[in-house]
Amino acid sequence: MIQLYDYVLSASCYKVRLMAALVGVKMDLEAVDFHPGRAHKSVEFAQLNPAGTLPVMVDGDMILTESTAMLVYLAKRAGPQWLGPDDAKSAAQVQQWLAFSGRLAASLGMARLHDMLLYKGDIDAWRAQGHAALRELEAALTERRFAGGEWLVGDTPSIADIACFPNAALSQDGGVSLDAYPSVRLWTRRIRALDRFIEMPGIHRLHELSPTPKVA
């Protein structure tokens, strides 16, 4: 069975757990004391992942340490439709959104670590960078909506959506409101309504008491 070294509050770990649930792959979750223990920085953990980051996926003799690579692996293994359309343009767009998800983690994700786990850093810069990334995401989703689309690439959800979803959905944990981004909020609702969707602290299946965002 696939083993995932995991921290329940990590957006990067969650996107892998979510992808596995969506494609029906069971994993053995190995909890890592990320906070306050910082076990991911231990000498023992460095033997598994010298970078000292989470998540880490182990399947037989294969070790993956990048969450986007894990999404690709899970989709290729059990849900190839999640890889997105097969044409060159769409494949490139998926890869671009996978890279973009790293910017969300480096801005919104770091702001969240600052506010929740007292990580030190330039919170104003992280929040400003987070808003800049959300504006890009909002513009792309609005353009897709005007063209009749609901997802970042193609006509169905893909690993591009799953890669970007957690840090966007959790942005308010880092002091970045989604109020100004109605297309992003509609998109997060669609993801939360997917079959086999699983929750994490801060991300519920649907916020039934919240009104549907109004967009032009």
Q: pLDDT for 146-180, tens place per residue? A: 999 999 999 999 999 999 999 999 999 999 999 99
The answer to whether position 152 is within a domain reads yes
29, 59, 80 - which closes a domain: 80
The answer to whether position 209 is within a domain reads no
What is the count of structural domains for the chain? 2
pTM score: 0.93
Q: Which pLDDT score, from 0 to 100, does residue 208 have?
A: 45
pLDDT in tens, 3-55: 999 999 999 999 999 999 999 999 999 999 887 757 687 878 788 889 989 99
**44 & 98 share domain:** no
The answer to whether position 166 is within a domain reads yes
CA distances in angstroms from 63 to 85, 96, 204, listed in the order given: 27, 23, 30
Q: Which pLDDT score, from 0 to 100, does residue 209 have?
A: 46
Structure tokens at 13: 């770990």
Find the domain containing 158 and state its range: 82-192
Q: Which pLDDT score, from 0 to 100, does residue 210 have?
A: 56
The answer to whether the CB of 177 falls within 8 A of the CB of 171 is yes
The answer to whether position 171 is within a domain reads yes
If one counts every other C-beta atom within 10 angstroms of the C-beta of residue 14, the result is: 27
Q: What's 46's domain CATH number?
A: 3.40.30.10
Q: Which pLDDT score, from 0 to 100, does residue 211 have?
A: 59
